[in-house]
C-alpha cells in the first residue's frame, strides 16, 4: 500500500517519518522529461510522428572536478588544496524514428548538420510548464556522432549517440535577471548598497557588471556576501562604459576594446541560494547619466 501524501511542501532535502512529501516544484526538470533544442533542431518532441527520441542523457548528473592535493612527506595523509569544477562531458543517446526511407535520410542529414559546427551553442531543455523554468548548457560536439545503417523490424529507425563537451559546467536558466541603479551626480560614494541580486541555483552565478560614466577616481565594487571585490582605476568618462564579464574573464569598453589594464582584484560571483549584497565606492561621480547595472542567470550544477 503506498504511503499517504502530505499536502505540505518541505525543504528539498528533507523527509517525513510517515508521510510522502510533496516536492517544491523548484528543481530543474530532468532532461528526459523535456523537449530539447540545439542549433535549430528539436529533439525528444514526442508529440510528432517522425522524431528524434532521446532515450538517455549522460553527464547531466555532475561535472568533472579538479581536485588538487599535496602529499605529506614521511607521514600519513595529504593537504587538500583549492578544488574547482572542470567542464562537463555529455552524450545524447537516442533513436531517429521515421516512417519512410526518404524521411529517415532527411533526419540523419539534419542531425549531422545541426551538430556539425564545432562552436559551443545552447542545448536548451524546454520545460512544459513555461519559459521561466527552461534552462540550457553551452556545449559542442566533442567527437564523431556514432550511428549505423541498419533495418530493425522493418521500421525506418536509426540509433545514435552524440558526444558533447561543455567548457562551463553550469546549467543556466534562460531568464536573465537585470538590476540597474542610477547614481546621483556630483557626489562621493562609500559602500553604497546598489542592489541585492538573488541566485536561486546550486552553483555560483557569473554576472556581467557594467559601470556607466561619469565616474571618477578609483571605483570599487564589492560583493559583501562573499568578500569578493574589484577596482577600476582612472574612472569612466561620461557617455562611456566599462563591462566586466565574469564568465569570459573580460573587461571591455563600449567599443568592444579590452581595458583590462584598468582592472584589479577578483571577478565577482553571486553565491547560490541567497541574496548577494553589492556595494559601490567611488571618489567622484560626475555629470552625465552615471549608473551601475548587472545581469546574471540562476546557475545550477
Question: Is residue 293 predicted with pLDDT exceeding 60?
Answer: yes
Question: Is residue 19 predicted with pLDDT exceeding 60?
Answer: yes
**Matching CATH topology for 7-171 and 177-300?**
no
d(CA 104, CA 136): 28
Of 126, 135, 166, residue with least CA distance to 247: 166
Residue listed under C-alpha cell 560626475 = 286
Average pLDDT, the chain: 90
User: What pLDDT is recorded for position 180?
Assistant: 93
User: What pLDDT is recorded for position 8?
Assistant: 56
Contact between residue 280 and residue 189 where contact means Cβ atoms under 8 Å apart: yes
User: What pLDDT is recorded for position 3?
Assistant: 57
Q: How confident is the model at residue 300 (pLDDT cuts 50, 70, 90)?
A: very high
Q: How confident is the model at residue 292 (pLDDT cuts 50, 70, 90)?
A: very high
pLDDT digits (tens, 9 = 90+) for 42-92: 999 999 999 999 999 999 988 989 898 998 888 999 999 888 899 999 999
* Residue 136, helix vs strand vs coil: strand
| Domain residue spans of the chain | 7-171, 177-300
User: What pLDDT is recorded for position 94?
Assistant: 96
User: What pLDDT is recorded for position 279?
Assistant: 84
Average pLDDT over residues 231-252: 94
Long-range contacts of 180-185 (CB under 8 A, 24+ apart): 180/291, 180/292, 180/293, 181/280, 181/291, 181/292, 181/293, 182/289, 182/290, 182/291, 183/215, 183/280, 183/285, 183/290, 183/291, 183/292, 184/285, 185/285, 185/286, 185/287, 185/288, 185/290
Question: Is residue 2 predicted with pLDDT exceeding 60?
Answer: no
Average pLDDT over residues 278-293: 85
pTM here is 0.86
Pick the range with the lowest mean pLDDT from 4-8, 101-105, 184-188, 294-298. Answer: 4-8
User: What pLDDT is recorded for position 288?
Assistant: 81
Angle at 63 between CA 252 and CA 206, to 5 degrees: 25
Q: 189 Cβ partners below 8 Å, 6+ apart? A: 183, 280, 281, 282, 285
* Domain boundaries 177-300, CATH class: mainly beta
Which residue has better confidence, 133 or 15? 133
Which residue has better confidence, 93 or 72? 93
Question: Is residue 5 predicted with pLDDT exceeding 90?
Answer: no
User: What pLDDT is recorded for position 4?
Assistant: 58
User: What pLDDT is recorded for position 189?
Assistant: 84
Question: Is residue 13 predicted with pLDDT exceeding 80?
Answer: no
Which of 3.40.640.10, 3.40.1670.10, 2.40.30.200, 2.60.120.10 would CATH assign to domain 7-171?
2.40.30.200
Neighbour tally for 157: CB within 10 Å: 16
43 sits in the region (left: phi over 0; alpha: psi -120 to 50; else beta) called: beta
d(CA 301, CA 292): 28
pLDDT digits (tens, 9 = 90+) for 129-167: 899 999 999 999 999 999 877 666 667 899 999 999 999
Residue listed under C-alpha cell 519559459 = 131
Amino acid at each position: 500500500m503506498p504511503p499517504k501524501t502530505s499536502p505540505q511542501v518541505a525543504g528539498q532535502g528533507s523527509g517525513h517519518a510517515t508521510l510522502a512529501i510533496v516536492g517544491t516544484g523548484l528543481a530543474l526538470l530532468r532532461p528526459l522529461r523535456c523537449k530539447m533544442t540545439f542549433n535549430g533542431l528539436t529533439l525528444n518532441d514526442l508529440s510528432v510522428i517522425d522524431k528524434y527520441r532521446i532515450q538517455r542523457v549522460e553527464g547531466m548528473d555532475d561535472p568533472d572536478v579538479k581536485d588538487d592535493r599535496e602529499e605529506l612527506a614521511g607521514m600519513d595523509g595529504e593537504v587538500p588544496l583549492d578544488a574547482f569544477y572542470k567542464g562537463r562531458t555529455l552524450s545524447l543517446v537516442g533513436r531517429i524514428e521515421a516512417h519512410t526511407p526518404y524521411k529517415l535520410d532527411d533526419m540523419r542529414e539534419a542531425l549531422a548538420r545541426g551538430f556539425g559546427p564545432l562552436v559551443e551553442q545552447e542545448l536548451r531543455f524546454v520545460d512544459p510548464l513555461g519559459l521561466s523554468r527552461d534552462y540550457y548548457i553551452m556545449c559542442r560536439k566533442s567527437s564523431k556522432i556514432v550511428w549505423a545503417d541498419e533495418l530493425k523490424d522493418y521500421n525506418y529507425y536509426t540509433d545514435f549517440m552524440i558526444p558533447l563537451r561543455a567548457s562551463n559546467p553550469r546549467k543556466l536558466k534562460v531568464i536573465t535577471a537585470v538590476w540597474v541603479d542610477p547614481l546621483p551626480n556630483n557626489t562621493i560614494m562609500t559602500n553604497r548598497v546598489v542592489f541585492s541580486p538573488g541566485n536561486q541555483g546550486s552553483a555560483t552565478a557569473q554576472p556581467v557588471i557594467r559601470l556607466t560614466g561619469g565616474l571618477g577616481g578609483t571605483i570599487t565594487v564589492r560583493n559583501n556576501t562573499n568578500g569578493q571585490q574589484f577596482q577600476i582605476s582612472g574612472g569612466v568618462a561620461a557617455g562611456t562604459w566599462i563591462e566586466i564579464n565574469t564568465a569570459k574573464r573580460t573587461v571591455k569598453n563600449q567599443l568592444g576594446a579590452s581595458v583590462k589594464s584598468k582592472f584589479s582584484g577578483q571577478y565577482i560571483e553571486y553565491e547560490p541560494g541567497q541574496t548577494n549584497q553589492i556595494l559601490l565606492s567611488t571618489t567622484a561621480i560626475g555629470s552625465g547619466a552615471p549608473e551601475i547595472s548587472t545581469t546574471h542567470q540562476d546557475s545550477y550544477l
